[in-house]
Chains A and B, each alone.
Chain A
Amino acid sequence: MDCPLETHEGSALLLAYSSGRLERESTVPLERHLETCPGCRQFVESQSSVWRALDSWEAPPVSADFDRRLYQRIEQQVSWWDMLLRPFRPVFHSRSLPIAAAAGVLIMAGVLLDRPAVVPITPPQQSAQVEALQPDQVEHAVDEVEMLDQFNHLMRSEPAEPAAKM
């Protein structure tokens, strides 16, 4: 038998032996090896000490009200959860739930694809031009209107003059 300390597998064998969990057929050759290998003997002795030390570590007793607290929490959860899920329970229990979910997704996808494309609304250019007018441009426009008005007035009064001459 090769020295078990040389491989992880072999060490696992020694660990199992130290904890008394090694099968009978593996124990016999290992014990024969231990008689001649001081390294493995040392390993087994120190590992057995660790095992006994861990054995001495007892956990404290469980609180008397552990179950009561747990069931109280379960009841709280169940009450609001039940209220929420009660209408859907038959659906959840049904084996056809995945099929129904898939059908729902397909219908939703169909509805979304069928909708007309939305054209983004662009503001009319005219309003942009109005917004772009400067005060001096307005002043010029008013001046021009006044000039036209004066010109019209002049044109209307001019044919009357020859009549007056006559």
Chain B
Amino acid sequence: MDERVKTDMGATAAALDYDAELMLRVRDGDGASFGVLLDKHRLSVIHFLYRMVQNHAVAEELAQEVFLRVYRSRSTYEPTAKFTTWLFRIATHLALNALRDGKHEKSQERLDDASGDLPVRQVSDKRPTVEASMVYESRLEEVRKAVATLPEKQRAAVLMHKYQDMEYSQIARVLNCSESAVKSLLFRAYESLRARLAHMA
């Protein structure tokens, strides 16, 4: 019964998912469709990875690997789930590996040194004074540190929930766990974030 439901869900996802259709075209040798997918998801993947590892260069390197793996897997691709579920599963896997391999150490250094490898912010348009800019930077630093202190899976769940607008069921499929486990992960993660960031109202 469950298997049949899963299969039905996969088939529906494939039918409704335009990205999956594009990926099938890539499988059939249409390189232009890969370009469309890259255009559509480049930003979200890089931003997700950046917020996971908190290092711009490492995030881009990992994003390259994500799209390279997508391209490499084109011949065996089967649309059994939403394309973005598959994409973020690859991205999350690579990010968690990078964090475990210690690539994130750079990001910890960067947290202590706000200059880091981030492009210089254009403060003139949004923040007119140096003081306001400094306040903004210090608040931002607080947010980054609060997210960085979350356990890896909680961090991934929060980032997908907050910035990718993903539903619990999709996050569950990306993290390969149950929907109730995702709810619990998010509940604990937001609890920690409330304790650290609620004063920033």
Contacts and interface: CB of A to CB of B under 8 A. Distances in A.
Given A61-B119, A70-B64, A53 B143 contact: yes
Contacts of B40: none
A12 B193 contact: no
Contacts, number: 93
Given A12-B183, A70-B67, A74-B71, A59 B194 contact: no
Contact of B139 (A47, A48, A56): A56
Interface in B39-56: 42-43, 46-47, 50-51, 56
Interface size class of B (residues with CB under 8 A): 35 or more
Interface residues of A, number: 31
B68 A74 contact: yes
Contacts of A32: none
Interface string B173-201: 00000001001101100100110011111
B90 to A, nearest CB: 14
Interface residues of A: mostly helix, strand, loop or mixed? Answer: helix
Contacts of A59: 46-47, 50-51
Nearest to A55: B162
Contacts of A19: 162
7 contacts: A15-B186, A49-B199, A57-B51, A57-B143, A59-B47, A70-B38, A74-B71
Interface of A: 8-9, 11-12, 15, 19, 45-54, 56-57, 59-63, 66-67, 69-70, 73-74, 77, 92
